[in-house]
Chains A and B, each alone.
Chain A
Amino acid sequence: MRDEFEELLGAYALDACDPAEEAAIAQHLVGCPRCRAELAAHEEVAGVLGNLGGEAPAGLWDRIWGEIASPDQGDDTSEGEAAGETRLPRSFAHPPPPLAIIEGESADRGRAPDEPGGATVPSHAVQRANRRWGYAIAAGAVAAALAVVVGLLGTTVGNLDNQVSALNRAVVTGGVRGAEQAAVADPSHRAVQLQSSTGSWKAQLVTLPSGTAFIVPEKMPTILPSRTFQAWAIVHGKIVSLGVLGRSGQVHQLLLEPNMTAVLVNTEPLGGTSQPTTPVLLRGNLPTTL
C-alpha cells in the first residue's frame, strides 16, 4: 500500500493529484515518516521551480491592507451606544504594550508573552484598530493627534485647493451630484485630498464655507457586502462620525463639524458604528482656513 502512495508523492508535491488521492495521501503521511521525508524533498524542488522572481503589482498591498483592516467580524458596537455618540475605543485606556520580537520563541499567538497574563486574545481587527485610533486620539491636542496619525501611518496629505479635475471625472449620481457640481463651481470651495498611506486609494473632500462638504471617491477598494465606508472627523482630539458612505463609489454629502482638523475614512459594518473599529483607510488634514 505504501508503494502506491510513494508513487504519487511527486504528483502530490506538484498539486497534481485528484482531491480523493490528496486526502488519502495526507492521511498516510501522518503515520509514515519515510514518505514525509520524500515529500519534503519534492517540495523543495517545487519551491525552487516556483521561485520565478519579479515584482508585485502596484496597489496589491493596499488591497491586502484593506482586507485585513476590514474583516467581516461583526459589529463591535454595543447596543447601549447611541448612534452618533463618540467615545474612545474600549481598549484605549489600556493599549497593548509595544510588541517585541523575542529570540527563540515560536510563532504561537496563544503563548505570546506580550499579552498580559496570557489573557484571551481579543478580536484581531479590533485590537489593531484600537491601537491605530487610540494613538491618533491619545496625543490630545489636535495638532499632536494629527502628527501621530501622519507619523505612524506614513501619510502624505495634500491640500489641493481648486484642483477640480478629478471631481469632473468622478462617478456621481442624483441630486447630490448636482449639489457637488455646484459646489465645485463655487469659487469659494476648497478641495482636500484624502488618500491611503501608499496613495493607492483616493477620494476628495470638497468643502464650502457654509460647512457643507462632499466626499468624492476617486479610487476605492472593493469591500465585503457586509461592510460600508464611514467618514470621521477629528475635533479637539476626539473622533466624531461624519456619516456612512455606503459601499459604492458615489458622492456623499456631509456636514462638517466646527473646528475639525482632519477627515478620516475607514470601513465598518453596514449601518455604521458610533466609534471606529478598524484602522484608517483614507485620511487628509484640513487647512485652518476652511
Chain B
Amino acid sequence: MRPELTTASDERLVLAIARWRDDALAEAYRRHAGPAFALAKRVLWDVGVAEEIVQEVFVRLWHEPDRFDPARGTLRSFLLAQVHSRSVDFLRSETARRNREEKEARSTAQSGYNLEDEVHNVLEGEHIREALDAIPESERKPIELAYFGGHSYREVAQLLGEPEGTVKSRIRAGLRRMHESLTASGVLVGGQL
C-alpha cells in the first residue's frame, strides 16, 4: 500500500477506489470494517449474516464508489447506513424474522436491550450517554427498538402498545433532541433541524 493512503481523507480514498486501487479499498476496510461488522452483528444477532452484509457493502463500494457523497457525511456514516439498511432488509424477510425472533427471545431473556450499553465502546461514549439521558424513556425506547431491533415504527407501536402516530413522533422528537445534545457537546458539528 502506498504510504499516502494511510493518511488520505475519506474523499481521496474513495477517489482512489474509483480508479480501481484495491489498496484504497483495503484501507477503507481497515478503517471502517470493524464498526460496520459490529453494527450488523448487533442488529442481526447472526455473525455469519453480518459478515455477508459487510462483504456486500464493501463490494458495492468497490463497484459503485460514486454513491458516496462526502458532502452528506463521513465514509463511516455512509457505510454504517448501508450496513444498517441491508441488515434491516434481511431481518424483514420471513425466514430471517423467525430466526431473529428466536434469538431475540433468548437474548432478551438474558439481558434485554439497553441502548446505553450499546454505545459504551465509542470514543464519544460519555457525550452520547448524555444525549441519551437528555431524552425521556418514551422516546429512547422506540429509537432503540427501531434502530437496533430493526423493527418498523408500526412494529414498535405494537410492541409498546402505543399508537403508530405517537411512536413516529417520539422517534423524530428523540432524534432531534439527541442531535441538539450531540451538537452542544461537539460530537456533531452542527446542522439545522
Contacts and interface: CB of A to CB of B under 8 A. Distances in A.
Interface of A: 6-11, 13-18, 37-38, 40-57, 60-61, 63-65, 67-68, 71, 99, 101-103, 105-109, 112, 114, 124, 127-128, 131
How many chain B residues sit at the interface, stated as a range, is: 35 or more
Given A8-B153, A16-B152, A107-B14, 9 more contacts: A14-B147, A46-B80, A52-B42, A52-B121, A56-B34, A57-B47, A57-B51, A64-B29, A107-B18
A7 B17 contact: no
Which DSSP category, helix, strand, loop or mixed, fits chain B's interface? helix
Interface of B: 4-5, 8, 11-12, 14-22, 25-26, 29, 33-39, 42, 47, 51, 54-55, 58-59, 62-63, 65-66, 68, 70, 72-74, 76-77, 80-81, 83-85, 88, 115, 118-119, 121-124, 128, 143, 146-147, 150-154, 156, 165, 167-169, 171-176, 178-179, 182, 187-188, 191-193
Contacts of B20: 99, 124, 127-128, 131
Which DSSP category, helix, strand, loop or mixed, fits chain A's interface? helix
Contacts of B191: 37, 40-41, 44
B73 A8 contact: no
Contacts of B193: 37-38, 41
A221 to B, nearest CB: 11
Contacts of B34: 53-56
16 contacts: A14-B143, A14-B146, A16-B152, A40-B72, A48-B122, A50-B83, A52-B119, A53-B121, A53-B122, A67-B55, A68-B22, A102-B15, A106-B15, A107-B15, A107-B17, A108-B66
Contacts of A10: 168, 171-176
A7 B168 contact: yes
B53 to A, nearest CB: 11
A280 to B, nearest CB: 12
